[in-house]
């Protein structure tokens, strides 16, 4: 789009008689404004007022507001010059010498590119005027903004018009009503040093080449105030409305203008278009987490601790050794004060770590002669396998809140899984276990999404050997009771909300069709850790609760199925109900069209 060539505009209104210029001028170009103020800052009693913001006299601001488009500069200036024999009084409008402003205009043209582009043949140095370039001292010629006279001379109005008579012109003792016009030409109006001939043709309406904003101003003399500013709907027979003007401005481009400051929320407001700046990446991309490997370091690597997996008979043999004469107490006493100090712990676990081979149990560095499997690590992993969580129908009824899934994990208890997380795939349960403490963590991993849940528990039953560690045994027992908390219950009360949200528009009443699913959720287990876990279920299992839905035969013929697809109605067969439609091409009355839309929304059969 090109930029707009803004031509400074002056205008006058006739105070008392036809063609008499007044003192009210509006300079809308910032460059010219500065030149005027600088050059004529103290001309006689000239008083320059600069209007902006909420000033009631800020006509360009009002125009901007009226057209809803930041077209006009907010700066306006009123030049008030007294008559030669009158005392200057800014509250009284007085005539101004037209030559001053004409000269200002010419000066402006000379100092801008506009002047450079005006064909030199049009300039008359003797009169210091441009032939064919009329400033606001010239009356409009049937409203032609740019045209060619019968002699073939192109001319244009670079400025507003001096309305001697106009559609909205009137003067009374109390007020004056006059037109202001702001013609805006497109950049292509001037090409090089020539006016674009496309814009000039004999007999053409010049308004076709520019966009004019016509404003009707009502000025109250007694208060020197503008009491009304309205954008006019028509200009010289071309029925431009301000909407057309805005469209025109949009089509030929416009420099951004600073909006006026009337907006209490800040100049220019804060509303803006936005959105659609997402990366539109792979919305289904999954970079799942694998079940972690067991740690590479363990207590047995330190040498301070040894772990064994003795059988029952081997434990008995060890016990007998400790109480036998074979146990060299003197040797032992050199190392320890109490033999039981060597026995760190004895427990029962549902798993066993990897073995490093069979060896004699050394008790306080004393070879017991009892051969047992020594363990290479304190950690073990138990893979419980996978189960498929299949969709039953392949519809919304296979997902939350309609389907609820609970999972029992040994040594942890029942947990609730998110149906939407796992439906349609398979889940695997794998435990990583620390056999020294008995702490375990169960990973639930999805076949496509990796690990999506993990729960902790304890799977060790400590065996009390001494009175001291019996106390510890009880402590562990009580801690285990308070240990595991089942996962958050999902789906509670969601059935009704989900069903209501999906109710068929207009087809059936929600209250008639949906059974409220506000059944209470019950916790299926407490803690199953430690010793209680040992005597509990040892294999995970999953409980899938699905709704028993009631669907009439051939329901799709009566009410269809949910669609939400943009379709050509000609491609539809059978029951069809629409949500949004704009009916085009119907030679029907508005009442008929309304009835058609209503019937389409409630459902028709093609």
Partner 1 sequence: MKLKLYNNLSDKIVVDKNITQLGSTLNGTLRENCSVIDPIIKVEGIVGSNLTKCNYAYIEEFGRYYYITNIVCVGNLFELHMHVDVLMTYRGSIRSNSAVVSRQEKLYNLYLQDGVFKEQANPHYEIKKFPSGFTSFNFILAVAGD
Binding characters for partner 1, 538-557, by CB under 8 A (x = yes): xxxxxxxxxxxxxx---xxx
Binding characters for partner 1, 261-300, by CB under 8 A (x = yes): --------------------------------------x-
Of the pair 188, 563, the CB lying nearest partner 1 is at: 563
User: 3-class SS at 217?
Assistant: strand
> End-to-end CA distance of the chain, in Å?
48
Q: Which helix (H) or strand (E) holds 129?
A: strand 129-130
Contact with partner 1 (CB under 8 A) among 502, 518, 523, 526: 502
CA dihedral over 449, 451, 455, 458, signed as positive or negative: positive
Q: How far apart are CA 339 and CA 360, in angstroms?
A: 17
Of the pair 282, 584, the CB lying nearest partner 1 is at: 584
User: How far apart are CB 339 and partner 1 at their closest, in Å?
Assistant: 11
Contact with partner 1 (CB under 8 A) among 106, 376, 489, 503: 503
342 Cβ contact list (under 8 Å, min separation 6): 336, 363, 364
The span of 94-102, 222-230, 258-266, 537-545 binding partner 1 (CB under 8 A) equals 537-545
Reading the block at residue 457, the tokens are 């528990």
Q: Which of residues 72-131 bind partner 1 (CB under 8 A)?
A: none
Q: How far apart are CA 504 and CA 512, in angstroms?
A: 12
Closest-CA residue to 506 (of 602, 375, 379): 602
Of the pair 124, 594, the CB lying nearest partner 1 is at: 594
The span of 61-69, 100-108, 468-476, 500-508 binding partner 1 (CB under 8 A) equals 500-508
Of the pair 236, 321, the CB lying nearest partner 1 is at: 321
The span of 1-9, 117-125, 229-237, 512-520 binding partner 1 (CB under 8 A) equals 512-520
Of the pair 14, 517, the CB lying nearest partner 1 is at: 517
Q: Which of residues 342-361 bind partner 1 (CB under 8 A)?
A: 342-352, 361
**Helices 98-110 and 30-39: angle between axes, nearest 10 degrees:** 120
CA dihedral over 156, 158, 164, 168, signed as positive or negative: positive
Of the pair 106, 382, the CB lying nearest partner 1 is at: 382
Of the pair 282, 571, the CB lying nearest partner 1 is at: 571
E-state strands within 376-524: 379-388, 404-409, 413-417, 426-434, 439-446, 450-458, 461-462
Contact with partner 1 (CB under 8 A) among 71, 317, 422, 459: 459
Of the pair 279, 548, the CB lying nearest partner 1 is at: 548
Closest-CA residue to 343 (of 378, 374, 308): 308
Closest-CA residue to 46 (of 78, 10, 22): 78
The span of 45-53, 76-84, 141-149, 391-399 binding partner 1 (CB under 8 A) equals 391-399
The total of other beta-carbon atoms located within 10 Å of residue 446's CB is 21
Contact with partner 1 (CB under 8 A) among 222, 501, 520, 522: 501
Q: Which helix (H) or strand (E) holds 597?
A: helix 590-602
Q: Which of residues 395-424 bind partner 1 (CB under 8 A)?
A: 395-397, 399, 402, 410-411
Reading the block at residue 432, the tokens are 């990583």
User: How far apart are CB 566 and partner 1 at their closest, in Å?
Assistant: 5
User: How far apart are CB 417 and partner 1 at their closest, in Å?
Assistant: 13
User: How far apart are CB 564 and partner 1 at their closest, in Å?
Assistant: 6
DSSP H helices, 149-261, are 242-252
Q: Does 605 participate in binding partner 1 (rule CB under 8 A)?
A: yes
The span of 31-39, 102-110, 320-328, 380-388 binding partner 1 (CB under 8 A) equals 380-388
User: 3-class SS at 200?
Assistant: coil
Q: Which of residues 295-314 bind partner 1 (CB under 8 A)?
A: 299, 303-312
Instruction: State the residue for tokens 């909407």.
Output: 243
Binding characters for partner 1, 181-210, by CB under 8 A (x = yes): ------------------------------
Buried b / exposed e over 26-41, threshold 16 CB at 10 Å, is bbbbeebbebbbeebe
Beta bridge partners of 80: 47
Q: Does 489 participate in binding partner 1 (rule CB under 8 A)?
A: no
Q: Does 524 participate in binding partner 1 (rule CB under 8 A)?
A: no
The total of other beta-carbon atoms located within 10 Å of residue 334's CB is 10
Q: How far apart are CA 525 and CA 281, in angstroms?
A: 43
Of the pair 41, 550, the CB lying nearest partner 1 is at: 550
User: How far apart are CB 489 and partner 1 at their closest, in Å?
Assistant: 16
The span of 26-34, 322-330, 377-385, 415-423 binding partner 1 (CB under 8 A) equals 377-385
- Judge whether 136 and 79 are in contact, CB under 8 Å: no
User: How far apart are CB 569 and partner 1 at their closest, in Å?
Assistant: 5
Binding characters for partner 1, 560-599, by CB under 8 A (x = yes): xxxxxxxxxxxxxxxxxxxxxxxxxxxxxx-xx--xx--x
Beta bridge partners of 454: 443
């Amino acid at each position: 789009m090109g930029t707009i060539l803004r031509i400074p505009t002056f205008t006058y209104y006739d105070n008392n008689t036809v063609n008499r210029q007044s003192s009210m001028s509006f300079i809308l170009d910032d460059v010219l404004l500065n030149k005027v103020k600088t050059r004529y800052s103290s001309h006689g009693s000239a008083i320059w007022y600069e209007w902006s913001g909420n000033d009631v006299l800020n006509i360009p601001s009002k125009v901007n507001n009226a057209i809803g488009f930041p077209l006009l500069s907010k700066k306006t200036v009123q030049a008030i010059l007294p008559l030669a024999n009158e005392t200057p009084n800014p509250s009284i409008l007085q005539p101004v010498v037209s030559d001053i402003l004409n000269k200002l205009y010419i000066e402006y043209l000379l100092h801008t590119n506009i002047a450079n582009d005006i064909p030199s043949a049009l300039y008359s140095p003797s009169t210091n005027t441009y032939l064919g370039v009329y400033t606001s001292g010239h009356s409009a010629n049937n409203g032609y903004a740019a045209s060619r006279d019968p002699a073939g001379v192109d001319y244009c109005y670079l400025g507003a018009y001096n309305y001697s008579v106009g559609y909205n012109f009137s003067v009374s003792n109390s007020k004056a009503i006059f037109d202001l016009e702001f013609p805006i030409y497109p950049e292509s109006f001037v090409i090089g040093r020539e006016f674009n001939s496309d814009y000039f043709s004999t007999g053409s309406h010049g308004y076709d080449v520019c966009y004019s904003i016509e404003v009707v101003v009502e000025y109250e003399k007694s208060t020197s105030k503008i009491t009304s500013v309205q954008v006019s709907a028509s200009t010289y027979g071309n029925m431009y409305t301000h909407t057309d003007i805005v469209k025109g401005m949009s089509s030929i481009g416009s420099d951004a203008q600073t909006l006026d400051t009337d907006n209490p929320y800040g100049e220019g407001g804060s509303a803006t278009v936005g959105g659609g700046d997402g990366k539109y990446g792979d919305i289904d991309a999954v970079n799942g987490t694998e079940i972690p490997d067991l740690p590479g370091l363990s207590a047995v690597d330190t040498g301070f601790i040894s772990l064994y997996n003795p059988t029952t008979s081997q434990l008995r043999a060890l016990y007998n050794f400790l109480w036998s004469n074979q146990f060299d107490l003197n040797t032992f006493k050199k190392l320890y004060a109490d033999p039981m100090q060597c026995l760190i712990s004895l427990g029962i676990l549902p798993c066993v770590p990897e073995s490093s081979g069979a060896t004699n149990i050394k008790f306080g560095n004393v070879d017991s002669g009892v051969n047992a499997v020594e363990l290479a690590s304190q950690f073990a992993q138990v893979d419980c396998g996978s189960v498929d969580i299949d969709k039953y129908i392949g519809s919304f009824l296979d997902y939350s809140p309609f389907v609820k899934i609970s999972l029992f994990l040994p040594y942890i208890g029942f947990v609730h899984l998110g149906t939407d997380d796992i439906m349609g795939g398979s889940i695997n349960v794998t435990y990583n276990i620390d056999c020294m403490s008995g702490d375990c963590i169960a990973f639930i991993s999805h076949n496509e999404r990796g690990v999506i849940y993990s729960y902790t528990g304890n799977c060790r039953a400590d065996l009390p050997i001494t009175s001291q560690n019996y106390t510890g045994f009880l402590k562990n027992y009580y801690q285990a009771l308070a240990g595991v908390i089942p996962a958050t219950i999902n789906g509670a009360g969601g059935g009704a909300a989900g069903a209501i949200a999906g109710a068929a528009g207009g087809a059936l009443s929600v209250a008639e069709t949906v059974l409220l699913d506000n059944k209470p959720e019950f916790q299926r287990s407490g803690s199953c850790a430690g010793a209680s876990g040992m005597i509990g279920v040892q294999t995970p299992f999953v409980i899938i609760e699905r709704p028993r839905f009631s669907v009439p035969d051939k329901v799709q013929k009566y009410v269809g199925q949910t669609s939400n697809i943009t379709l050509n109605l000609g491609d539809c067969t059978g029951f069809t109900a629409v949500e949004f439609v704009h009916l085009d091409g119907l030679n029907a009355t508005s009442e008929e069209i309304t009835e058609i839309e209503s019937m389409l929304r409630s459902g028709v059969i093609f």
